[in-house]
Amino acid sequence: MKVVVKTIFRDKYTRKVYKLDDEIDVTDKRYEEIKQYVEKIEDKKEEDEKIDTQEADVEETEDKKEDNEKIDTQETDVEKTNNKKENDKKKKKANK
C-alpha cells in the first residue's frame, strides 16, 4: 500500500529519515507500525470520490429544483390562459 508521510520520522529498520510528503510503499504490517506518521494515499482518493459524488448529488438536486420551477411556471401560464378563456366566455355571455 502507498502512504504519504505526515510527520518526519526515522525508519527503525533502515535508519532512513522520511520527510513530509514523501510517498512510500509499505506492507499492512509495517503500516500498523508507522501509522502515526503516515496517511494512506488510497484514503485520499476515496475521500475525493465521495466529495465528487456529493457534488454531483447537489448539482442533480439543483437541476431537479430548476426543472420543478420551470414546470410550476408552465402550470401557472396554463392556468392564466385557462382563466383568460373563462373570462372571455363570461364577457361574451354578459354582452348577449
pTM metric for this prediction: 0.44
Q: Three-class SS of residue 7?
A: coil
- Decide if pLDDT at 67 tops 80: no
Instruction: Specify which residues 36 forms β-bridges with.
Output: none
Question: Which pLDDT score, from 0 to 100, does residue 15 have?
Answer: 94
Q: How high does pLDDT run on average in the chain?
A: 78
Instruction: For cell 527503525, name the residue.
Output: 12
Compare 16 and 73 and report the one with higher pLDDT.
16
| pLDDT 10s digits, 11-56 | 999 999 999 999 999 999 999 999 999 999 875 556 666 666 777 6
